[in-house]
Homo-oligomer: A and B are copies of this chain.
Amino acid sequence: MKRNSRLSSTLHILVHMADAPDRALTSEQLAGFIHTNPVVVRRTIAGLRDAGIVTSSRGHGGGWQLGRAPDKISLAEISAALGETLLPFSTEPESPGCLVEQAVIAVLDDFRLEAERLLAERLGHITLADLTADFRRRYDLIGVSSHAV
């Protein structure tokens, strides 16, 4: 798994889970999808379990499943559950008492607040079901074209 691809990789995993709603998938299998290590998967999606987006079970036949219907899981929730920050710039004071820095931080924090609201709103409208539908569309297209040849 590459750096900064936690959101993308997690969505990949979740679509696979949505595509196999009848059975639990193990960390091992999920890791295979994104070419990484089972422990990395467990660590990455631990937050999703706490958020109720997925459930996990141990022992024989255990593994991971979606916690609710794909159309009830938005990308905003997933991103938040991963602890990802959409806007990466820091506004930590480094020169306490400097009025210039205070002005910069104030303006930047205002912008960040507004931006995060906007992005969350947009991400809230995209659900896992949308992703799954997009995948099925692609799958059917390939199927047709290979039949045609």
Contacts and interface: CB of A to CB of B under 8 A. Distances in A.
Q: How many copies does the complex hold?
A: 2
A135 B104 CA distance: 8
A104 B131 contact: yes
Interface string A106-149: 11100100110011001100100011101101110010000000
Interface residues of A, number: 57
B94 A2 contact: yes
Contacts of A111: 75, 122-123, 126
Interface of A: 1-9, 11-12, 15-16, 19, 33-35, 75, 84-92, 94-95, 98-108, 111, 114-115, 118-119, 122-123, 126, 130-132, 134-135, 137-139, 142
